[in-house]
Chains A and B, each alone.
Chain A
Amino acid sequence: MKRRTERYWTITWRQFQKRKIAVIGLVLVAVLMLVAILAPLLANDRPIIMRYQDRYYFPAAIDYAQFRNVEFDKVVAKFEKSDFAMFPPVRYTPTQYNLTDRLQGPGRKHLLGTDDRGRDILTRMIYGTRVSLSVGFVAVGIYIAIGTVFGAIAGYYSGKIDIVLSRILEIVLCFPTFFLIIAVIAFLPPSIYNIMVVIGITGWTGVARLVRGEFLRLKSQDFVTAARALGANEFRIIFWHTLRNALGPVFVSATFGVAGAILTESALSFLGFGVPPPTPSWGDILAQSRQYVEFAWWLAVFPGAAIFITITAYNLVGEGLRDAIDPRLRQ
Chain B
Amino acid sequence: MASSKVLSNIPCLLFLGAILIATVIGCGRQTSQNPQTPTSTASKDAASESVDGDWLIRNMPAEPKTLNPVTARDLYEVVVNRNVYEALLRRNNETLELEAELAESYIISDDHLTYTFKLKQGVKFHDGAPMTARDVAFTFERIKDPKVDAAHLRNYFRDIDRVEVIDDYTVRFVCTQPYWKALEVVGTFAIMPQHIFERGDFNSHPNDRHPVGTGPYKFVKWDTGRKIVLERNENYWGKRCHLDRVVFKIVTEDTVALQLFKRGELDLLGLSPEQWVRQAGSPEFEQRARKLTYYLPSFNYIGWNMRRPYFQDKRVRRALTELVDRETILQKLLYGLGKIVTGDWYINGPIYDHAIQPWPYNVAEAERLLNESGWVDHDGDGIRDKDGVPFSFEFLIVPGSTFSDQLATILQEDLKKVGIRMTIRPLEWATFEQQVQDRKFDAVAMGWSLDVEGDPFQLWHSSQAEKGSNYVGFVNAEADEIIEKGRREFDAEKRRTMYRRLHTILHEEQPYTFMFCPQALVVVDRRFENVKVYPLGLDPKEWYVPKAKQKYGRESNVP
Residue positions of A touching B, CB distance < 8 A = 63, 65, 68-69, 95-97, 99-100, 102, 116-117, 182, 185-186, 190, 270-273, 276-278, 288, 291-295
Contacts and interface: CB of A to CB of B under 8 A. Distances in A.
A277 B424 contact: yes
A294 B278 contact: yes
Interface stretch (B62-70, B263-271, B327-335): B327-335
B33 interface: no
Contact of B417 (A69, A271, A291): A69
A97 B426 contact: no
Interface in B103-134: none
B364 to A, nearest CB: 14
Nearest to B419: A69
B376 to A, nearest CB: 15
A273 B274 contact: no
Interface residues of B, number: 33
A273 B398 CA distance: 10
A280 B409 CA distance: 11
B146 interface: no
A11 B267 CA distance: 70
A26 B223 CA distance: 55
A277 B428 CA distance: 14
Contact of A68 (B382, B398, B400, B410): B382
Contacts of A69: 382, 416-417, 419
B408 interface: yes
Nearest to B279: A294
A291 B184 CA distance: 40
B408 A277 contact: yes
Contacts of B413: 95-97, 278
B425 A117 contact: no
B431 A186 contact: yes
B399 A116 contact: no
A276 B396 CA distance: 11
Contact of B380 (A65, A117, A186, A291): A65
A187 to B, nearest CB: 9
Contact of B382 (A65, A116, A277, A294): A65
B41 interface: no
A190 B394 CA distance: 11
A185 B434 CA distance: 13
Contact of A271 (B279, B400, B430, B434): B400
B101 to A, nearest CB: 41
Interface of B: 255, 274, 278-279, 328-329, 332-333, 380, 382, 398-400, 402, 405-406, 408-410, 412-413, 416-417, 419, 423-428, 430-431, 434
Contacts of A270: 400
Given A95-B409, A117-B409, A277-B408, A102 B402 contact: no
A288 B402 CA distance: 9
Chain B at the A interface: mostly helix, strand, loop or mixed? helix
A270 B409 CA distance: 16
B424 A276 contact: yes
Chain A at the B interface: mostly helix, strand, loop or mixed? loop
Given A99-B333, A292-B274, A294-B278, A272 B412 contact: no
Contacts of B405: 277
Given A271-B400, A277-B424, 16 more contacts: A68-B382, A117-B409, A182-B428, A185-B427, A185-B431, A190-B423, A190-B424, A270-B400, A271-B399, A272-B398, A272-B426, A272-B428, A273-B426, A277-B409, A277-B412, A278-B413
Given A95-B413, A99-B333, A291-B274, A276 B425 contact: yes
Contacts of A276: 423-426
Nearest to A288: B402
B410 A117 contact: yes
Contacts of A293: 255
Contacts of A97: 409-410, 413
Contact of A100 (B278, B332, B382, B425): B332
A116 B406 contact: yes
B227 to A, nearest CB: 25
A69 to B, nearest CB: 6
Contacts of A190: 423-426
A162 B434 CA distance: 43
Contacts of A95: 409, 412-413
A111 to B, nearest CB: 21
A165 B328 CA distance: 60
A185 B427 CA distance: 8
Given A96-B413, A276-B425, A294-B255, A182 B333 contact: no
Contacts of B382: 63, 65, 68-69
**Among the interface residues A102, A182, A278, which one has the most CB atoms of the partner chain B within 10 A?**
A278
Contacts of B274: 291-292
Contacts of B399: 271-273
Contacts of A63: 382
A291 B424 contact: no
A291 B405 CA distance: 13
A175 to B, nearest CB: 19
Contacts of B402: 116, 288, 291
Please provide the 10 A-B residue pairs with the shortest distance between their CB atoms, ordered closest to farther.
Answer: A272-B399, A99-B332, A186-B431, A278-B409, A277-B424, A272-B426, A68-B382, A272-B400, A95-B413, A190-B425
Contact of B278 (A186, A271, A295): A295
Given A117-B409, A277-B408, A278-B409, A99 B328 contact: yes
Contacts of B400: 270-272
Nearest to B333: A99
A228 to B, nearest CB: 53
Nearest to B1: A271
Contacts of B328: 99
Contacts of B409: 95, 97, 117, 277-278
A182 B428 CA distance: 8
Contacts of B428: 182, 185-186, 271-273
B380 A278 contact: no
A247 B434 CA distance: 46
A116 to B, nearest CB: 7
A95 B419 CA distance: 16
Nearest to B328: A99
Contacts of A277: 405, 408-409, 412, 424, 426
Contacts of A294: 255, 278-279
A273 B380 CA distance: 35
